[in-house]
């Protein structure tokens, strides 16, 4: 847990981690391997959101930068 000013690379590392495997919807189990996480930064945290194309459930992952 070291803090650095390389927020950009941390940002990209998190996205790479999310893209590592196809996202399976927690509600309906639909595997969406074409969709993308939408990143929203809010200062110290970054949120990744995506919506299941099958059931419309919004998924959220939040990380600290």
Q: Which residues contact 6 (CB under 8 A, 6 or more apart)?
A: none
Q: Is 54 in the site for Zn ion (CB under 5 A)?
A: yes
Site string for Zn ion, 4-43 (x = CB under 5 A): ---------------------x-xx-x-------------
The string over 7-46, giving b where at least 16 C-beta atoms fall within 10 Å of a residue's C-beta and e elsewhere, is eeeeeeebeeebeeeebebeeeeeebeeeebeeeeeeeeb
Q: Is 55 in the site for Zn ion (CB under 5 A)?
A: yes
Task: Find the part of the chain contacting Zn ion (CB under 5 A) among 6-14, 16-24, 39-47, 55-63.
Answer: 55-63
CB of 23 to Zn ion, least distance (A): 10
């Amino acid at each position: 847990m070291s803090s650095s000013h390389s927020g950009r690379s941390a940002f990209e590392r998190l996205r790479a981690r999310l893209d590592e495997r196809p996202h399976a919807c927690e509600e309906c189990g639909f595997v969406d391997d074409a969709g993308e996480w939408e990143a929203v930064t809010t200062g110290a945290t970054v949120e990744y959101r995506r919506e299941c194309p099958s059931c419309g459930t919004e998924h959220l992952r939040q990380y600290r930068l």
